[in-house]
Structure 1
Amino acid sequence: MPVTNPWLAGPSAKKRLDRERLEERIRNLLSTQNMCVIATAGPEGPLATPVRYFPLDFAVMFSTAPGSPKMRNLAADPRVSVGIFAPLVGQASSRGAQLFGRARVLSEDDPDFEHYWPAFRWQSDHVERSRSLDDPPSGPLVVIEAERIVYTEHWLRREGYAPRQFWTK
């Protein structure tokens, strides 16, 4: 029987990408997707929530209602895991990342707010909801700076690299 991707057969290589090349691949993934799953922990257990995100380097950010379950969980424990993945059409296209870090909830008066705010593309949501672009949202901005990333891309096997690569800040 013919095999579409023979390089997927057998054991995975263990070779690591150099940092610069790994960072480029991670940035590409973060910049070409817009949905992630934020995993938080709270008194009722774990909570995994799909959210639309916006990237800035190795940070992802989103906005949400202040009283939402994920915001209550973040207030109790800011440690999070973020799952981001590209659409999968087969093992060869498997590509994604797990980001680990601490969520920070920034208000407009936070000194770091101005650093992140320009990358938060709220305008498209406003247009979709027929809201005025003269009235930006005022909700909190949740920022997760990755401390550690596990990046997976099976296409790397074609070049003799391990499909799972590890990045730390």
Structure 2
Amino acid sequence: MPVTNPWLAGPAPTARLDRTRLEERILHLLSTQNMCVLATTGPGGPLATPVRYFHLDFTLLFTAVADSPKMRNLAADPRVSIGIFAPLVGQASSRGAQVFGRARVLHPDDPDFDRHWPAYRWQSDHVERSRSLDEPPAGPLVVVPAERIVYTEHWLRREGYAPRQFWRAAGPR
């Protein structure tokens, strides 16, 4: 029987990508997707919520209604796990990331707000909802600087690299 992707058979390679190549692949994933699953924990237990995101380097950004369950959970415990994945056609196309970090809620008066806000593309949402482009939303903006990322891409096996790669933020967070 013919095998479409013979390089998927057998044990997975264990070689690691260098940091520059890994970061390039992670940023490519972040730039080509716009939905993630945000996992928070609250008094009722875990909550996994689909969220549209944007990114600024390795910081994920999203907005939410201030009194939503995810925002209440973030206020109680800012630790999050975020799953991002490309559409799966088969094992060879498996590509995604688990992002771990601590969420910060920024309001317009926060000193970091102006640095992050331009990366949030609110205009398309306003057009879809027939809202004026002269009135940008007021926030809050949630930012999650990645502390560590588990990146998975089975296509890496073709080049002799492990399909699961590990990234950590440089320096203290």
TM-score between both structures, scaled by the size of structure 2: 0.97
Does residue 1:54 correspond to 2:54, yes or no? yes
Superposed, which structure 2 residues align to 1:63-142 within 5 Å?
63-142=63-142
Distance in 2 of aligned mates of 1:69 and 1:79: 15
Distance in 1 of aligned mates of 2:150 and 2:139: 30
Percentage identity across paired residues of the two chains? 80
Shift of 1:56: 0.7
Q: Which runs of 5+ in 2 are unaligned?
A: none
Q: Residues 40-89 of structure 1, C-alpha deviation per residue, up to 9 Å, x if partnerless?
A: 00000000000000011001100010000000000000000000000000
Aligned residue pairs total 169
Superposed, which structure 2 residues align to 1:2-81 within 5 Å?
2-81=2-81
Give the 3-state SS of the residue equivalent to 1:161 in structure 2. Answer: coil
Distance in 1 of aligned mates of 2:166 and 2:135: 41
Give the 3-state SS of the residue equivalent to 1:126 in structure 2. Answer: helix
Distance in 1 of aligned mates of 2:32 and 2:108: 27
Distance in 2 of aligned mates of 1:4 and 1:158: 13
Q: Superposition RMSD on alpha carbons, in Å?
A: 0.4
Paired residue type of 1:19: R
Q: Residues 113-167 of structure 1, C-alpha deviation per residue, up to 9 Å, x if partnerless?
A: 0110000000000000000000000120000000000000000000000000000
Paired residue type of 1:145: P
Distance in 1 of aligned mates of 2:56 and 2:9: 36
Q: Which runs of 5+ in 1 are unaligned?
A: none
